[in-house]
Amino acid sequence: MALTKSRKREMLQELQDTISSAQGMVFTDFQGSSVSALQGLRTQLRAESASYKVVKKTLFNKALQNTGVNLSLSDQLPGNLGVVFANDPVFGAKVISDFAKSAPKGTFTLVGGLLDGQYLVAEQVNTLAKLPSKEQLQAQLVGTLAAPMTQFLQVTSGVARGLVTVLSAYRDIK
């Protein structure tokens, strides 16, 4: 059954809204994947406010152009295009990379991604997947910033501790 023009406009608008709200996108070729496996992937992504949608290439390219991304991706994208829309691009890349590794060979392929208007090839997306999450990076930053203060506190308390030890020894002698 053919889609009406009004339904196509609605789909285009929904896709544009999703693209403009996403921080990063990962493109996949899902040919040969089972529906239950893709449902499991969607459930996994939904836990972090990400989504996986199957889209038509022409509609996706038109939505990209309407949102200000001036890339023509029709040459790089497969016929069966699945897109992960994520608020945290590292999370989306990690989930898809892990899913592609665990999927039976030839059934699910990582094709590329889009981050800050730049097209990423599959190797770059895999590299992005190896980065720590935003929370881990924030924790590392806090630890790095807190380390000098902690060391300073230990040094200053060591002087006071040494003074108390000397006074205690002096008291024991008298």
CA separation, residue 88 to residues 18, 20, 21, 122, 135 (Å): 14, 14, 11, 17, 11
Residue 37 and residue 99 in one domain: yes
- Specify whether 9 is located in the same domain as 83: yes
Residues 55 and 67 in one domain: yes
The sign of the CA dihedral 117, 122, 124, 128 is positive
Q: What is the pTM of this model?
A: 0.71
What's the DSSP call for residue 117?
T
**What's the CA gap between 150 and 38, in Å, rounded?**
48
The tokens describing 133, both together, are 């999450």
pLDDT greater than 80 at residue 35: yes
Does residue 174 sit in the same domain as residue 96?
A: no
pLDDT digits (tens, 9 = 90+) for 76-108: 677 778 888 988 888 888 888 888 888 888 788
